[in-house]
């Protein structure tokens, strides 16, 4: 009953929305479902400061906006503390993908007779979503539905989606593409520091004496962070631990090309070497940590001979690195996907954290155990995705946490589930078992980016209803959908991103979304109304009022940012790093530091204020090479001009020119000769899960027995 009334009200509003110029956002008549208006605040003509929507660096871009409120081009902000006037090719080209010919302009619904995706009105799309999802819940239970989200929408949208899914629609299983990315570091920090808290500031790139990069290729993946390293005037040693001689390794002063997935052994061996060198900061360890003695006993088994044998490195290389850590005053450790995407990634991240703790390299300039995240708002999803942690870094399992969050959100506490839902891989397993029947995918391209993409294709047939919400209706996942919801993208809506150094930055609407595309925020509000649970979200009027709610959720937490007044404050201050409490805000002046790191007082976020040493015996790589599959395949970023599955970057002619246009595989010249491969010719690359054609690039950047392919190609 409630649904049908609401749906007709939605229809009325959509008719208004289709009229006139305001197609970009729904203009709600005040009073209709108590929504008020979701403002479509267009930027005034002139220059507007915004934050890039690709990677987690969070560069500030100046959008130059004409009298129609449309950005005509972008330049990097010379005065921003993050990028200091620099941008990578994706940033410079960020407007181009918005104008692509394959933008999703209307919702599309699969016609059961023709099997084609045909344009439908928003009202029909919403009614269908509700009917199909409700029907599945009625027949198979509330948890026959699941949601896959992203690190690429603004924090306000993530939080609304998380709240809508779990508190409104009654779906427990929500996870995001950050599971493929830095979820393991989230856990590592939570266990070691008591909260998911990357401690660094980008200034640390410039202030270190030794920088150790583990499984990270910032020259390609975070080029502006790398520029910050290049601005370091302390003549630092730069160490790269990576099986490949990457662009970053080539620029390093020491490259350790270890065997893939032998990092944990190396890091434990380094800990022993540091203990033997007397490099342990005993005062710091005694005052601020727990568990060092057991750790010290544990690592005694990692002799140089064992480490060399198991990592393939020479003992001299390991000694050299131990010296660089032991002898330098300021040592910072940085890691990315070479660590996070592995079978023992949480412990590997913690082995890095242990090195920083035992040598007292934390809380001082140029130090830290620093996880670099990937997507523009991966950090926002860590705090407000509402996936494994409850909004604001709380725990679903803790009833006092649930009660607290419910009181801020003015909800009945029992609306908040008492357990976290399934992770991404568990959701896919649930589809396979026939338990999940309906899936809603937002701002991620699962059919391309999930490991073993063939499996997702097979799972599709087990889903009774697949919804995809994206900028484009041509992504591999959208083409499989039963319903496509057209979304506004970066630059077409406003909200907050949180970058790798915990900086909240405001991203602005500098363009109208095309056709009937709506911001994800507006779509989630409409779904709530159509579902009949809109009343739960009256406080979430628009992104900025939602930001005020998020502030309240952060109050008293390590990530407290209650000192940020509003969007205008964020913009004027060029971003604020958390924590920034109300009292910090009250004493803020022009002279307040613009870069801050955590743990300067040696107090961590655990109950006793001490950091923990975590460790575990290394396990062999689960799927080692064998006779049929003799190579180790590594994948990663191939070019600073390409972004993941290419849905956005492939739309720019400029970016397409900057990267190879065909898929390639890098093979060591000895293997090329041994297998009589034709450099530049095509090969069929086959794994236990799939096969693909690629052309051969003979290069000694990969070791014998190893090959590399980029995870994006410009095809």
Ligand X SMILES: Nc1nc2c(c(=O)[nH]1)N[C@H]1C(S)=C(S)[C@@H](COP(=O)(O)OP(=O)(O)OC[C@H]3O[C@@H](n4cnc5c(=O)[nH]c(N)nc54)[C@H](O)[C@@H]3O)O[C@H]1N2
Q: Residue 351 has which token pair?
A: 């082995």
Q: How far is CA 705 from CA 244, 634, 672, 682, 687, in A?
A: 12, 11, 10, 19, 14
Q: Determine if 380 is a binding residue for ligand X (CB under 6 A).
A: no
Among residues 185, 359, 375, 500, the one that binds ligand X under rule CB under 6 A:
375
Spatial contact of 211 and 332, defined as CB atoms under 8 Å apart: yes
Q: Determine if 350 is a binding residue for ligand X (CB under 6 A).
A: no
Question: Residue 221 or residue 496: which is nearer to ligand X going by CB?
Answer: 221
Binding mask 440-459 for ligand X (x = CB under 6 A): --xxxx---x----------
Question: Residue 50 or residue 444: which is nearer to Mo ion going by CB?
Answer: 444
State how beta strands 174-176 and 682-686 pair. Answer: unpaired
In the complex, minimum distance from the CB of residue 101 to Mo ion, in angstroms, rounded to a whole number: 27
In the complex, minimum distance from the CB of residue 663 to ligand X, in angstroms, rounded to a whole number: 12
Q: Choosing among ligand SF4, ligand X, Mo ion, none, which partner's interface includes residue 224 (Cβ < 5 to 8 Å by kind)?
A: ligand SF4
Among residues 217, 345, 359, 668, the one that binds ligand X under rule CB under 6 A:
217
Q: Angle 75-81-82 (CA atoms, 0-180°, nearest 5)? A: 70
Close Cβ partners of 88 (under 8 Å, ≥ 6 residues apart):
55, 59, 223, 224, 640
Q: Where in 638-667 is the site for ligand X (CB under 6 A)?
A: 640, 642-645, 647-648
Q: Choosing among Mo ion, ligand X, ligand SF4, none, which partner's interface includes residue 152 (Cβ < 5 to 8 Å by kind)?
A: ligand X
Question: Residue 354 or residue 375: which is nearer to ligand X going by CB?
Answer: 375
| Residue indicated by tokens 């003549």 | 235
Binding mask 354-383 for Mo ion (x = CB under 5 A): --------------------x---------
Q: What is the maximum span of the chain, computed from C-alpha positions, in angstroms? A: 75
Close Cβ partners of 381 (under 8 Å, ≥ 6 residues apart):
149, 150, 151, 158, 176, 178, 375, 387
Q: Which range binds ligand X by CB under 6 A, 18-26, 229-237, 439-447, 552-560?
A: 439-447
Q: Determine if 153 is a binding residue for ligand X (CB under 6 A).
A: yes
Among residues 169, 181, 431, 570, the one that binds Mo ion under rule CB under 5 A:
181
Q: Choosing among ligand X, Mo ion, ligand SF4, none, which partner's interface includes residue 169 (Cβ < 5 to 8 Å by kind)?
A: none
Q: Residue 357 has which token pair?
A: 């703790």
Peptide bond preceding 579 in cis form (omega within 30 of 0) = yes
Spatial contact of 62 and 47, defined as CB atoms under 8 Å apart: yes
Among residues 96, 557, 635, 682, the one that binds ligand X under rule CB under 6 A:
635
Q: Determine if 55 is a binding residue for ligand SF4 (CB under 6 A).
A: yes
Spatial contact of 561 and 578, defined as CB atoms under 8 Å apart: yes
In the complex, minimum distance from the CB of residue 21 to ligand SF4, in angstroms, rounded to a whole number: 30
Q: Choosing among Mo ion, ligand X, ligand SF4, none, which partner's interface includes residue 26 (Cβ < 5 to 8 Å by kind)?
A: none
Q: How big is the chain, counted in residues? A: 715
Q: Determine if 59 is a binding residue for ligand SF4 (CB under 6 A).
A: yes
Spatial contact of 34 and 44, defined as CB atoms under 8 Å apart: no
CB atoms within 10 A of CB 61: 28
In the complex, minimum distance from the CB of residue 155 to Mo ion, in angstroms, rounded to a whole number: 17
Spatial contact of 83 and 224, defined as CB atoms under 8 Å apart: yes
Question: Residue 207 or residue 666: which is nearer to ligand X going by CB?
Answer: 666
In the complex, minimum distance from the CB of residue 336 to ligand SF4, in angstroms, rounded to a whole number: 13
In the complex, minimum distance from the CB of residue 444 to Mo ion, in angstroms, rounded to a whole number: 10
Q: Determine if 57 is a binding residue for ligand SF4 (CB under 6 A).
A: yes
Q: Residue 66 has which token pair?
A: 């004409």
Interatomic CA distance for residues 394 and 405, integer angstroms: 8
Among residues 76, 198, 430, 489, the one that binds ligand X under rule CB under 6 A:
489
Binding mask 100-139 for ligand X (x = CB under 6 A): ----------------------------------------
> Quick one: which of 146, 131, 135, 174 has its CA closest to 435?
146
Interatomic CA distance for residues 467 and 664, integer angstroms: 32
Helix (H) or strand (E) holding 306: helix 304-311
In the complex, minimum distance from the CB of residue 219 to Mo ion, in angstroms, rounded to a whole number: 17
> Quick one: which of 458, 379, 474, 632 has its CA closest to 104?
474
Q: Which residues pair with 486 in a beta bridge?
A: 470
State how beta strands 145-149 and 682-686 pair. Answer: unpaired
Spatial contact of 529 and 35, defined as CB atoms under 8 Å apart: yes
Q: Determine if 221 is a binding residue for Mo ion (CB under 5 A).
A: no
Interatomic CA distance for residues 595 and 205, integer angstroms: 12
> Quick one: which of 181, 179, 161 has its CA closest to 171?
161
Q: How far is CA 97 from CA 58, 379, 480, 651, 654, in A?
A: 18, 24, 22, 5, 11
Helix (H) or strand (E) holding 65: strand 60-65
Q: Choosing among ligand X, ligand SF4, Mo ion, none, which partner's interface includes residue 87 (Cβ < 5 to 8 Å by kind)?
A: ligand SF4
Q: Choosing among ligand SF4, Mo ion, ligand X, none, which partner's interface includes residue 10 (Cβ < 5 to 8 Å by kind)?
A: none
Q: Where in 201-230 is the site for ligand SF4 (CB under 6 A)?
A: 223-224
Interatomic CA distance for residues 560 and 405, integer angstroms: 14
Interatomic CA distance for residues 664 and 693, integer angstroms: 8
State how beta strands 210-214 and 331-335 pair. Answer: parallel
Among residues 54, 202, 394, 497, the one that binds ligand SF4 under rule CB under 6 A:
54
Question: Residue 136 or residue 148: which is nearer to Mo ion going by CB?
Answer: 148
Interatomic CA distance for residues 483 and 133, integer angstroms: 12
- Report which residue's Cβ sits closest to Mo ion: 374
Q: Choosing among ligand SF4, Mo ion, ligand X, none, which partner's interface includes residue 648 (Cβ < 5 to 8 Å by kind)?
A: ligand X
State how beta strands 289-290 and 611-612 pair. Answer: parallel
Q: Where in 77-116 is the site for ligand SF4 (CB under 6 A)?
A: 83, 87-88, 90-91
DSSP class per residue in 436-486: --EEEEES--HHHHSSSHHHHHHHHTT-SEEEEEESBS-STTGGG-SEEEE
Spatial contact of 491 and 61, defined as CB atoms under 8 Å apart: no
Q: Which range binds ligand X by CB under 6 A, 2-10, 122-130, 239-247, 606-614?
A: 239-247
Question: Residue 42 or residue 709: which is nearer to ligand X going by CB?
Answer: 709
Q: How far is CA 277 from CA 19, 87, 270, 281, 433, in A?
A: 73, 42, 10, 11, 54
In the complex, minimum distance from the CB of residue 178 to Mo ion, in angstroms, rounded to a whole number: 7
Close Cβ partners of 4 (under 8 Å, ≥ 6 residues apart):
none
Q: Determine if 637 is a binding residue for ligand X (CB under 6 A).
A: yes
In the complex, minimum distance from the CB of residue 598 to ligand SF4, in angstroms, rounded to a whole number: 22
Rg (CA), the chain: 25
Among residues 167, 202, 472, 537, the one that binds ligand X under rule CB under 6 A:
472
In the complex, minimum distance from the CB of residue 266 to ligand X, in angstroms, rounded to a whole number: 8
Q: Determine if 215 is a binding residue for Mo ion (CB under 5 A).
A: no
Binding mask 165-204 for ligand X (x = CB under 6 A): ------------x--xx-----------------------
Question: Residue 152 or residue 573: which is nearer to ligand SF4 going by CB?
Answer: 152
Q: Choosing among ligand SF4, ligand X, Mo ion, none, which partner's interface includes residue 153 (Cβ < 5 to 8 Å by kind)?
A: ligand X
Q: Determine if 311 is a binding residue for ligand X (CB under 6 A).
A: no
Residues contributing to the site for Mo ion (CB under 5 A): 181, 374
Residues that bind ligand X (CB under 6 A): 55, 150, 152-153, 177, 180-181, 214-218, 220-222, 241-244, 246, 260-261, 263, 336-338, 342, 374-375, 442-445, 449, 469-472, 475, 487, 489-490, 520, 634-637, 640, 642-645, 647-648, 711-712
The residues binding ligand SF4 (CB under 6 A) are: 52, 54-55, 57-59, 83, 87-88, 90-91, 223-224
């Amino acid at each position: 009953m409630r649904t049908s009334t609401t749906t007709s009200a939605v229809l009325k509003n959509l008719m208004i929305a289709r009229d006139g110029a305001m197609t970009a956002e729904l203009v709600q008549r005040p009073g209709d479902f108590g929504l008020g208006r979701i403002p479509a605040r267009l930027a005034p003509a002139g220059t507007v400061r915004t934050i890039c929507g690709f990677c987690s660096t969070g560069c500030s871009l100046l959008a130059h906006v004409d009298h129609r409120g449309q950005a005509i081009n972008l330049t990097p902000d010379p005065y921003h503390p993050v990028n200091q006037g620099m941008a990578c090719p994706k940033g410079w080209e960020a407007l181009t993908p918005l104008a692509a010919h394959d933008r999703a302009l209307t919702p599309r619904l699969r016609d059961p007779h023709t099997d084609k995706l045909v344009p439908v009105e928003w009202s029909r799309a919403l009614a269908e979503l509700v009917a199909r999802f409700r029907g599945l819940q009625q027949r198979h239970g509330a948890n026959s539905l699941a949601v896959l989200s992203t690190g690429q929408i603004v924090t306000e949208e993530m939080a609304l989606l998380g709240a809508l899914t779990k508190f409104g629609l009654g779906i427990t299983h929500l996870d995001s593409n950050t599971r493929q990315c830095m979820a393991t570091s989230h856990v590592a920090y939570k266990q070691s520091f008591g909260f998911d808290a990357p401690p660094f500031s980008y200034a640390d790139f410039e202030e270190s004496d030794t920088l150790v990069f583990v499984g990270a290729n910032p020259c390609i993946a975070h080029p502006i962070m790398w520029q910050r390293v290049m601005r370091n005037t302390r003549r630092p040693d730069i160490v790269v631990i990576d099986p490949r001689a990457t662009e970053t390794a080539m620029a390093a002063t020491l490259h350790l090309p270890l065997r893939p997935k032998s990092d944990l052994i190396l890091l434990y061996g380094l800990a022993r070497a540091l203990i033997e060198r007397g490099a342990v900061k005993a005062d710091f360890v005694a005052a601020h940590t727990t568990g060092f003695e057991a750790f010290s006993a544990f690592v005694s088994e990692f002799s140089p001979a064992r480490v060399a044998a198991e990592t393939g490195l020479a003992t001299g290389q390991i000694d050299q690195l131990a010296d660089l850590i032991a002898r330098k005053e300021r040592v910072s450790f940085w890691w990315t996907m070479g660590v996070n995407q592995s079978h023992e990634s949480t412990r590997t991240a913690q082995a890095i954290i242990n090195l920083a703790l035992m040598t007292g390299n934390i809380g001082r300039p140029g130090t830290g155990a620093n996880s670099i995240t990937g997507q523009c708002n991966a950090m926002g999803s860590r705090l407000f995705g509402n996936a494994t942690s409850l909004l604001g870094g709380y725990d679903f399992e803790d009833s006092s946490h649930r009660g607290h969050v419910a009181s801020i959100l003015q909800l009945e506490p029992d609306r908040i589930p008492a357990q976290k839902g399934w992770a991404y891989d568990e959701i896919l397993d649930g589809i396979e078992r026939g338990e999940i029947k309906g899936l809603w995918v937002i701002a991620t391209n699962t059919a391309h980016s999930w490991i073993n993409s063939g499996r997702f294709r097979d799972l599709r047939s087990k889903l009774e209803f697949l919804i995809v919400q994206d900028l484009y209706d041509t992504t591999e996942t959208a083409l499989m959908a039963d319903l496509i919801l057209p979304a506004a993208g970066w630059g077409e809506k406003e909200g907050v991103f949180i970058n790798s150094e915990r900086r909240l930055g405001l991203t602005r609407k500098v363009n109208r979304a095309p056709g009937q595309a709506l911001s994800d925020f507006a779509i989630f509000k409409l779904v709530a109304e159509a579902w009949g649970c809109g009343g739960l979200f009256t406080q979430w009027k628009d992104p900025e009022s939602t930001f005020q709610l998020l502030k309240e959720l952060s109050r008293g937490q390590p990530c407290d940012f209650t000192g940020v007044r509003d969007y205008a404050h964020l913009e004027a201050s060029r971003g604020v790093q958390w924590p920034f409490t109300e009292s910090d805000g009250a004493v803020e002046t022009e002279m307040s530091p613009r870069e801050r790191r955590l743990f300067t007082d040696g107090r961590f976020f655990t109950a006793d204020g001490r950091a923990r040493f975590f460790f575990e015996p290394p396990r062999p790589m689960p799927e080692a090479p064998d006779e049929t599959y003799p190579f180790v395949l590594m994948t990663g970023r191939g070019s600073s001009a390409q972004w993941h599955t290419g849905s956005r970057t492939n739309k720019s002619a400029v970016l397409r020119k900057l990267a190879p246009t065909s898929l390639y595989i890098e093979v060591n010249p000895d293997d090329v000769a041994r297998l009589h491969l034709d450099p530049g010719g095509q090969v069929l690359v086959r794994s236990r899960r799939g096969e693909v054609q690629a052309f051969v690039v003979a290069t000694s950047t990969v070791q014998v027995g190893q090959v590399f392919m980029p995870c994006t190609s410009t095809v």
